Structure 1
């Protein structure tokens, strides 16, 4: 059974640095077509053309108990009594294809695998997987893409494994899906049309649509507290100052209890720090140049200085999740996916375990500001081909894989064949069999996935708590500059921000001061920051022109 949250936690790692693709741009896609020239760092090539995006046409097979609000995740408090059949007949025509995907787990057998056989039958194609270790997937991708004849028909590329100069290579290897899916053309594939526009934007390169998305959620991160362990009468904070008081009140060193793990994510949300760039009037400024960033650093330094952070978190050692779940700390920042994972670990041994997300607040007690999370964590791409009807057939297969919660197809893709890979318990929840352990691993979901819903009804109250919190936070969410754009920065600027990232930790822990930040920002500007600003400024101006068309 898949755990989307587990994958989300893996995405928090830094983008992998993989081998160069110097040969790719000089190679054809294996279809007899000439290579397409697409300089990856020319600002004009970074603009996503709105007219090339698929239309958004929501489809609902079953009604959620907790509808989404302004893009927040919908939730189901119970499993439907029956599942809807989205495809009475398989849409494919029996074509044979290969697919390359990552996997963080034991690779299942592909021969005689009843799970693969059942999903392939539902799609109406014969799809053979080439599964690679997710931890070394970036290296595998670099090697494969450098030799286009070895590229599978359908290739998954996680956002953190995008190879250097991919913007130059994508048009020489993979199919431009714009003619198939742009605008109302996507309506030929209703479940693909159900994927929100933002997710598609993440799969665009050089103004064209090349990928099929793995959608994310509106918000990825939250600050959690142990509701079952807070002293009686403790009031949750309402601004930055009361947050400091709140944290200070929770630390009891004699009881081996500290208030929190590192709360830098909390600080950036509390002060509304932009992910990368923002406009101040007509001026484009980097996040490290903003007052919000300085205020967040000053606040987190106070948190450390008052002794609210566990010593192991100060030293960046140990397991923060274990500290939180054992009660050594009562507050922690984490990806939202970590919430249900903790419930799964703790409720069987501690039925009173209760972690809750902090309400989203602003430092001054006013209107908070959050920024949209990445709308797609990965995209998959279809190799160029001269085979008539192949792209249409693969897109029809993708339409099956995008079947949303409440359909028989979703149940099959995520849980396998009933009676073979799972049985249903008294709550109609799938219980994996021994056969599932042998044959099932997340595979098809990495090719394309429907919008996320929360249906983890096995945890009492969790779905309502989760969806209510996100719905309340949704109005505070803003779209950052350049959101959803696949922008390839000039290579010479790749590492100029690293010294400031390192400095953040030193300032938080009192080893450096904001005066050191001033010097570091000046160095950043002289080392290429101002040139990078000019690069983004040109993209910004071109965006304005595109929006005015």
Structure 2
């Protein structure tokens, strides 16, 4: 299945069209209090009652070879034959609507596009796409939201492009979908009900459901990879000390044990993303936790051991993948989506190339703690309307777009029309035609997507290893504080944590001491950290009282 755009956050463009941002801020500032800077605070915490979330009713259109567990992706070793027909006839009512989406790639023609036309015909609803360059999408989005009357009917909003004070004015721009999808109501749209609950949380604001998610691959984002082809009989580490020994033992003969592992070390040591909760119910910044300090000390020891590639020591992160894939480095860390990307790229010239994710372990060798990552990084929103039939038709279209792997509809959305955009190759795997290169780009998935299925049938070892790894580690998932809540943080605190990034880089490379962390924490507290803590504490306490 085509998963372009998922599990990958495109580079953010710093800055925006100031006039448009100012205008949208006015549109979105219709409710909520304001701090001395004029920034809306604490009026939107995004928490939503379980009964308001869509019921989760999982569907496997075809039986997977490796079933998912508690929301982890299912894996398939073969393409289904025959495909399941999800709809006996086009489910739409013949309406025509506009939709705005980003794209990190060449924007396809939207007029005379046989792919888009075929999907519109199969849906029974016409979606006219307004596709914009993803790198400047935030600017475009701000300008569009500043003119609500001219907004498209359906808008995709990546989490990194959510405008300031969005939560305080979302109800003025977009339709509250809770009455249509909350609880058992979602069963009118069974393929939307197939989307895991956590993904819907990411699209909720002020206790209501406003968005439709592009579900992520699961709640596990990053971990250690190793070259199992070069280390076929390796005894893999089970704690942080053994990890140090492992990379030291594999630093020899022009190979280095590893690259910069600071980000993954934080996962190993169970460092929270932002906040931890003390026994007294008070919030503790990640920088104040013992886990953060221990992760820094361990990474500093790693660098001091000589096991880190010199380019990584020098701060070069851009070459990390090349160093790993060429065998200069035998262990690396990164997003789990890298797994199939590396195999696809490298096996084209080296069939024996192989990597694996290490089994998950805790720093102390005990039970791992894996903090859940957001289950959806992109949500789409329907323009507020008094036309109930329009909202229902758009949700019917969303239900069509969410058709799972194994259905004719999913095959159409993913590959286009057989004989026009693809032919069936060995094993029934669709082979794109030249026209597909021009007409098909990820479009519908930025509005809604089916739960991701692992369908790299040409990489059967990957399908088995990856889905098994995901399923095994679901048991270690833990919800961090504020999981699934959309919180608009006051703008004056936006760069409060930046000094810690620079300090961590210096400490792990031995340029500064771990003792410098204490001074940085005191500066953080006196420069706004305590105020930021109070901001989040109020939200946390309110959620606890309401639970």
TM-score (norm 1): 0.94
> Would the alpha carbon gap of residues 233 and 121 (structure 1) be closer, same or farther in structure 2, given more than 3 Å must change?
closer
**Could you list the per-position Cα deviations for residues 300-344 of structure 1 after superposition, in whole angstroms to 9, with x for gaps in the alignment?**
111111111111112222421111111111111121111111111
**What is the CA distance between 1:415 and its match in structure 2?**
0.8
Question: Where does the alignment leave 5 or more consecutive residues of structure 1 unmatched?
Answer: 29-34
2: CA distance, partners of 1:15 / 1:106: 18
What is the correspondence of 1:377-388 to structure 2 with a 5 Å cutoff? 377-388=377-388
What are the Cα deviations for residues 438-477 of structure 1, in whole angstroms up to 9, with x where unaligned? Answer: 1100001110011112111111311110011112221111
Aligned residue number for residue 496 of structure 1: 496
Checking the alignment, whether the CA contact within 8 Å between 1:19 and 1:163 is kept in structure 2 is: no
Structure 2: unaligned runs, 5 residues or longer: 34-38
C-alpha separation between the residues in 1 aligned to 2:133 and 2:12?
Answer: 17
Q: Distance in 2 between matches of 1:388 and 1:449?
A: 23
Distance in 2 between residues matched to 1:124 and 1:545, nearest whole Å: 46
Which residue of structure 2 aligns with residue 32 of structure 1?
none
Distance 1:362 1:284, change over 3 A: same
Matched, 1:371 2:371: yes
After superposition, the C-alpha distances for 1:468-487 in whole angstroms (9 at most, x for unaligned) are 11122211111111101101
> Counterpart of 2:223 in 1: which secondary structure?
strand
Find the counterpart in structure 1 of residue 198 from structure 2.
198
SS state at 2:339 partner: helix
1:241 shift after superposition: 1.0
Report the equivalent of 1:222.
223
Alignment partners' CA distance in 2, 1:70 and 1:84: 24
> Quick check: 1:337 aligned with 2:331?
no
Q: TM-score, normalised by structure 2?
A: 0.94
Tell me the residue number matched to 1:418: 418
- Greater Cα shift, 276-285 or 401-410: 276-285
Cα distance in 2 for partners of 1:134, 1:256 equals 40
Query: CA 1:410 to 1:213, structure 2 compared with 1: closer, same or farther past 3 Å?
Result: same
Corresponding residue for residue 433 of structure 1: 433
- Root-mean-square deviation (CA), in Å? 1.8
5 Å-filtered alignment, 1:46-57, equals 46-50=45-49, 51-57=51-57
Superposition pairs for residues 300-311 of structure 1, below 5 Å?
Answer: 300-311=299-310
More displaced, 316-325 or 13-22? 13-22
1:143-542 aligned at under 5 Å gives the runs 143-216=143-216, 217-230=218-231, 233-252=233-252, 255-282=253-280, 283-317=282-316, 318-542=318-542
Cα distance per residue 1:237-294 (max 9 Å; x no partner): 1111111111111112xx4321112111221121111111111212311111111110
Determine if contact 2:204/2:486 at 8 Å carries over to the other structure.
Answer: yes
Spell out, residue by residue over 1:1-21, the C-alpha distance to the aligned partner (whole angstroms, 9 max, x if none).
Answer: 7334x642335x569654563
Q: Deviations over 1:78-137 (max 9, x none)?
A: 221111111111111111111110111111111111100011112211111111111111
Structure 2 SS opposite 1:106: coil
Distance, in Å, in 1 between the alignment partners of 2:448 and 2:32 is 26
Structure 2 distance, partners of 1:424, 1:220, is 33
Offset of residue 43 of structure 1:
3.0
Number of residue equivalences:
536
SS state of the match for residue 543, structure 2? helix
Q: Does 1:37 align with 2:36?
A: no
Contact 1:220 1:335 in 2 (8 A): yes
Q: Identify which range, 503-512 or 308-317, moves more after superposition.
A: 308-317
Q: Secondary structure at the match of 1:262?
A: coil
Distance in structure 1 (CA, Å) of the matches to 2:274 and 2:416: 41
The separation in 1 between residues aligned to 2:60 and 2:468, in whole angstroms, is: 20
Q: Return closer, same or farther for 1:260/1:57 CA change in 2, 3 Å cut-off.
A: same
Q: Is the 8 A contact 2:44 2:168 kept in 1?
A: no
C-alpha distance 48-26 of structure 1, shift in aligned 2 (>3 A):
same
Q: How does 1:56-71 map to 2 (within 5 A)?
A: 56-71=56-71
Q: 1:215: Cα distance to partner?
A: 0.5
Segments ≥4 residues shifted beyond 6 Å:
none
Residue in 2 that maps onto 1:125: 125
Residues of 2 paired with 1:471 and 1:323: CA distance? 29
Please say if residues 13 and 135 of structure 2, whose CA atoms lie closer than 8 Å, have aligned partners that are also in contact. Answer: no
Tell me, in whole angstroms, the C-alpha distance in 2 between the residues paired with 1:124 and 1:38: 41
Check whether the contact 1:240–1:364 (CA below 8 A) recurs between aligned residues: yes
Post-superposition CA distance 1:37-83 (Å, at most 9, x none): 24584435314221321121222221211111233221112221111
Contact 2:86 2:409 in 1 (8 A): yes
Relative to structure 1, the CA distance from residue 395 to residue 36 in structure 2 (aligned partners, 3 Å threshold; closer, same or farther) is: farther
Distance 2:120 2:362 in 1: 49
Contact 1:47 1:542 in 2 (8 A): no
Residues of 2 paired with 1:15 and 1:296: CA distance? 30
Contact 1:52–1:209 at 8 Å: present in 2 too? yes
SS at match of 2:308: coil
**Residues 304 and 14 of structure 1: is their aligned pair in 2 closer, same or farther, counting only changes over 3 Å?**
farther
- Structure 1 counterpart SS, 2:532: helix
How far 1:26 moved relative to its partner? 4.5
Q: 3-state DSSP class of the match of 1:75?
A: coil
- 8 Å CA contact 1:401–1:410 kept in 2: the answer is yes
| Residue number in structure 1 paired with 2:36 | none
- 1-structure distance, mates of 2:489, 2:65: 43
Three-state SS of the structure 2 residue aligned to 1:349 is coil
**Contact 1:44/1:542, CA 8 A, preserved across alignment:** no
Residues 360-413 of structure 1, C-alpha deviations (whole Å, 9 max, x = no match): 011111111111111101000111223451111100000000111111111111
